[in-house]
Structure 1
Amino acid sequence: MSEEEHKLMQRIRYRHVEKIYTDLKELGYHDNDSLNVTDLIRLDQWHYLGTEPVDAAIELLGIREGARVLDVGAGIGGPSRYLAHKIKCHVTASELLPDNHRVGQDLTSRCGMTGSVKHVCGDIIMTELGNQEFDHVMSIQSILYVEDKPRLFRKLYDSLKPGGTVFFEVFCRLKDVENADEQAALDFFLLCTNTLPTHQDYRQLLEDAGFKVTVHDISTSYREYTYGRWANWDEHRDKYVRLYEEDMVDGWLKLTVTTKKLCNEFGLMGGGRFVAYKV
């Protein structure tokens, strides 16, 4: 396991990837049961704002039936399956962490979607993507954790067909760090990377790779989401302890408190949606 993988594995979600099976049991599913994809979609969107970012990608990129889409940092495959199910397109779900990849493959198979969602595991920088293979690239809250972003964006540019498009949503820094409390919170949140780029930083990186770029600041949505998620986990802690055990719940609460501070009290972190066109 690489140092990057090891650090990312410390994030509370990735230490408890089997949580999805507990959630499925709450819906009445048993081990190895076939899954209704519409049930799974309620549980497997492990990012902010549920299916909204994927719907935004569909609209902003104009994704159509039969398109070939690369999902970078696919996790357990929630956005990939939702996209393939809704649009009837072909999605390659690329994920760094083997446990996420394994669970994603299992869920996709149990949904009967192996014909439309292909899972690949490995560092996206090292993964063979081919030349002009994809119509679109999508990534939700994952680009942050790729250290060599200039190389990533050049690689994505090369992997796209002429006129191809990129959509990604990511955490962005809104101001300079002002004190030790802000720095400590940011360090805890970042874990495996040392920097949090601004909206303008990402724009410049994409333009340097050859893209034409549109930036959407969604920091208000991130402020509302982080506050609401913290309130939910705090209010329903006893229920979640029953389902997931105390270690996981306390880890989630620490993360939700930190992101709430970064996005609300400190105003240090927000969100961005980036649409890039290969020109």
Structure 2
Amino acid sequence: MSVEKQVAAHYGRSGSEKPLLDALRAAGKDVDRLTTADLAPVDEFHLGWRAATVGFGKALAFPSGAHVLDIGSGIGGPARYLAETFGVTVTGIDLTPEYVALADALTRRVGLADRVAFREANALALPFDDASFDGAYNIHVAMNIADKVKLIAETLVAETRRVPKTGATFGIYDVMRVAVGDLPYPLPWALTGETSFVEPSAAYRQWLGAAGFTIVSERDRSAEVKEIVRANRERLEREGSSALGPHTLMGPGWAERSANAGKALQQGLIAPVEIIARAA
């Protein structure tokens, strides 16, 4: 089985709408009048969750009206947040058909279908004409892509529609390698090392530069994420588990995978790093 098919299968097990709606009802949400805030506990799978999306959105600084590409959009949480908060239009792509269907369904439920759309596609073969977008970003995606050089080159040609004088923005928020050492699998993005390709930020900078990008900023968000993890752990001990969280879709195996990611973060093996670049 190809890496792409393994990745799609890894996430596709959790792409059903019914358990999510059941959990939302159990949490007291009106599933016929959902908001993006209602979905935030379950549609943000990356380290730092919604807080990280908020910070990333500010760093991206896409202008209102821009059409941007979300590479590896999952069930659409960040895309919906950016559209609602910054007035952009977002096209999201994902390898997992179940996620694409669920992302579309949730987007309709929160009334953003006129500004956010999703389609099944491979980041290494983007199905768009050159210069189709004003900007692009990915969140916790490249850890599943071995050929990151091609990913960045594909993005470069896809994101430069109506490029402003300062250049179109490409943002990356990924788990990156900090130190040499064995990662404790399973992890949220991979059950084994066969589909995990975690690289250091220096490699990203090299690839971006070779593809014609200028690095604007780089930020290690480890301290913020560790604080969020600590606060979540205290809340769990105080209030017990919630019906809403990444485990809602990812299932009972999520606890071990999340704990392993936290362990790798605490051991200094990995870090959630944000890089903002512009097309030269």
TM over 0.5: yes
Which whole-Å CA distance do the structure 1 matches of 2:22 and 2:43 have between them? 12
The one-letter code of the counterpart of 1:21 is: L
Could you say which structure has the greater relative contact order, defined with CA pairs below 8 angstroms and 6 or more residues apart? Answer: 2
SS at match of 1:275: strand
| TM-superposition CA deviations, 1:56-111 (whole Å, max 9, x none) | 33322321211111111111001111111112211001111111111101011122
Tell me, which stretches of 5 or more residues in structure 2 are unaligned? Answer: none
Kept in 2: contact 1:230–1:253 (CA 8 A): no
Q: Which of 167, 172, 175 lines up with 1:171 in the alignment? A: 175
- Pair 27,227 (structure 1): closer, same or farther in 2 beyond 3 Å: closer
Shift of 1:145: 1.3
Kept in 2: contact 1:234–1:253 (CA 8 A): no
Which whole-Å CA distance do the structure 2 matches of 1:98 and 1:57 have between them? 26
Kept in 2: contact 1:172–1:196 (CA 8 A): yes
The one-letter code of the counterpart of 1:276 is: A
The structure with the largest helix share of the pair is 1
- Pair 147,16 (structure 1): closer, same or farther in 2 beyond 3 Å: same
- Where do 1:180-259 residues align within 5 Å? 183=182, 185=184, 187-189=185-187, 190=190, 191=192, 192-213=194-215, 214-226=217-229, 229=232, 248-249=251-252, 251-259=253-261
Which whole-Å CA distance do the structure 1 matches of 2:35 and 2:169 have between them? 30
Quote the sequence identity (%). 24
Q: Which one is further off, 80-89 or 39-48? A: 39-48
TM superposition score normalised by structure 1: 0.83
Q: Which one is further off, 38-47 or 93-102? A: 38-47
Shift of 1:125: 1.4
Which whole-Å CA distance do the structure 2 matches of 1:106 and 1:36 have between them? 13
TM superposition score normalised by structure 2: 0.83
Which whole-Å CA distance do the structure 2 matches of 1:160 and 1:10 have between them? 28
Which whole-Å CA distance do the structure 2 matches of 1:263 and 1:166 have between them? 25
Kept in 2: contact 1:229–1:256 (CA 8 A): no
Which whole-Å CA distance do the structure 1 matches of 2:57 and 2:242 have between them? 35
| TM-superposition CA deviations, 1:189-248 (whole Å, max 9, x none) | 24353431011111111111111113212222333344555666677776659xx79x93
SS at match of 1:63: coil
- Pair 108,270 (structure 1): closer, same or farther in 2 beyond 3 Å: same
| TM-superposition CA deviations, 1:240-260 (whole Å, max 9, x none) | 59xx79x933x1221122112
RMSD: 2.8
Which whole-Å CA distance do the structure 1 matches of 2:120 and 2:75 have between them? 11
Kept in 2: contact 1:226–1:256 (CA 8 A): no
Question: Do residues 20 (structure 1) and 24 (structure 2) align?
Answer: no
Which whole-Å CA distance do the structure 2 matches of 1:172 and 1:142 have between them? 11
Kept in 2: contact 1:222–1:270 (CA 8 A): no
Kept in 1: contact 2:27–2:243 (CA 8 A): no
Kept in 2: contact 1:65–1:89 (CA 8 A): yes
Aligned to 1:269: 270
- Where do 1:60-209 residues align within 5 Å? 60-161=59-160, 162=163, 163-177=167-181, 183=182, 185=184, 187-189=185-187, 190=190, 191=192, 192-209=194-211
Which whole-Å CA distance do the structure 2 matches of 1:132 and 1:86 have between them? 24
